[in-house]
Amino acid sequence: MDGQFSACDNSDLVGLVPSAVQQTAVVVEQEEMARDTFRLRLECPQIARQILPGQFFMLRPDDGSDPLLGRPFALYDIYTDESGRPAGIDFGYVVIGKLTALMADWKPKQEVQIWGPLGNGFPEPGDGHLMMVAGGIGQTPFLAVAREALALRQYGEPTRNLSERPSRLSLLYGVRSKEYVAGLKDFQSDGLEIQLSTDDGSEGHHGFVTELLARSLDNPADRPDKIFCCGPEPMMKAVGELAESHNVPCWLSLETPMACGFGICFSCVTKVKDDDGQWDYRRTCVEGPVFASHRLEL
Ligand SMILES: Cc1cc2nc3c(=O)[nH]c(=O)nc-3n(C[C@H](O)[C@H](O)[C@H](O)COP(=O)(O)OP(=O)(O)OC[C@H]3O[C@@H](n4cnc5c(N)ncnc54)[C@H](O)[C@@H]3O)c2cc1C
Ligand code: FES
């Protein structure tokens, strides 16, 4: 079944990213998580065995040519079979356009094309206080980050053993309104502190998630040692600026639109500052999607 890719066969090109595979995956289940927001489970053991928190994969329908190009989605988490072996992946998505509208109708047993794992993923969390800051669907990469940091799950092949674990782990999660809060029950774990904000005040802090971050940065008892962030670009820009002004290292996971996902089309370039201070363009799909915020011009 793998390699059958009639409308858009990327099987040779996927070889450009050594660990990536292209295969036919099978839809296992679909759950509505929040307004316009779904969790989709795909059976794809090979990718599930390898993928690391913060990495992503590309997805497209198995049949037809519309849309022709795959779309990128981040790992939410892997799931395992009865013997505890990785069997597939869960991811969360918001319906915004052509493919995501089709995906909302995908039913169990449907076959889809997937290639991955792709991208660099988040760095290891280290010790100290790791604060994850999420906006909207940007919360999805943090479930696997949190579960790995809390020693609830391991990822990668060979299995990654974290050299250090955070002494404190927190998630600041902001959405427009309470009907968009997605997956909160999945995140609820001993050892993970969660603060919620809504723009309209319908749940949690009334205001932007960046206000929660500013409050933590200003309070020595809550100040993070490291920030991981994913969300809409203006929010990530604000988080990067706050982190820099408080001298806290920060990594941003970019959601740049992508056409190929494995480095050949250059549709995903972003401006990145090199070690020598010079600006250059980097492909988000292979050199990201996670970048240290001080290297980016958002
Ligand atoms: C590394 C990475 C990980 C991602 N992870 C997730 C995830 O876990 N869950 C999720 O819901 N989405 C995620 N995204 C965004 C996701 O890829 C887009 O929502 C998806 O491509 C939309 O496809 P579509 O065919 O439905 O929309 P299209 O028909 O392609 O586009 C509809 C409209 O949305 C705009 N658009 C397309 N892509 C983006 C984007 N990335 N950001 C802002 N606007 C965009 C288009 O310009 C267009 O106006 C991720 C993106 C990247 C790069
Ligand atoms: S998406 Fe093609 S080079 Fe990055």
Domains of the chain: 11-118 (2.40.30.10), 129-253 (3.40.50.80)
**Which ligand has the shortest distance to the CA of 287?**
2
Distance of CA 7 from the midpoint of ligand 2 (Å): 18
Q: What angle do CA 147, 153, 157 make, to 5 degrees?
A: 125
pLDDT at 2: 44
Cα-Cα-Cα-Cα dihedral sign, residues 223, 227, 232, 233: positive
Distance of CA 296 from the midpoint of ligand 1 (Å): 20
Q: Which of 57, 71, 255, 258 to mutate to test the pocket of ligand 2 (most atoms within 8 A of CB)?
A: 258
Helix (H, G, I), strand (E, B) or coil at 231: coil
Quick one: which atom of ligand 2 is closest to the CA of 264?
A: 3
Pairing of strands 192-198, 168-175: parallel
CB atoms closer than 10 angstroms to residue 114: 23
Helix (H, G, I), strand (E, B) or coil at 244: helix
Quick one: which atom of ligand 2 is closest to the CA of 263?
A: 3
pLDDT, tens digit (0-9, with 9 covering 90-100), for 196-231 = 999 999 999 999 999 999 999 999 999 999 999 999
Quick one: which atom of ligand 2 is closest to the CA of 258?
A: 1
Distance of CA 56 from the midpoint of ligand 2 (Å): 13
pLDDT, tens digit (0-9, with 9 covering 90-100), for 52-80 = 999 999 999 998 778 889 999 999 999 99
Quick one: which atom of ligand 1 is closest to the CA of 100?
A: 26
* Encoded tokens for 31: 């759950």
Distance of CA 238 from the midpoint of ligand 1 (Å): 21
**Which ligand has the shortest distance to the CA of 265?**
2
Q: Residue 4 pLDDT > 60, yes or no? A: no
CA distance 192 to 23: 35
pLDDT, tens digit (0-9, with 9 covering 90-100), for 234-270 = 999 999 999 999 999 999 999 999 999 999 999 999 9
Quick one: which atom of ligand 1 is closest to the CA of 119?
A: 1
Q: Which of 118, 256, 260 to mutate to test the pocket of ligand 2 (most atoms within 8 A of CB)?
A: 260
Least Cα distance to 293 among 217, 234, 229 occurs for: 229
pLDDT at 293: 96
CA distance 183 to 152: 17
**Ligand 1, atom 11: closest residue by C-alpha:** 93
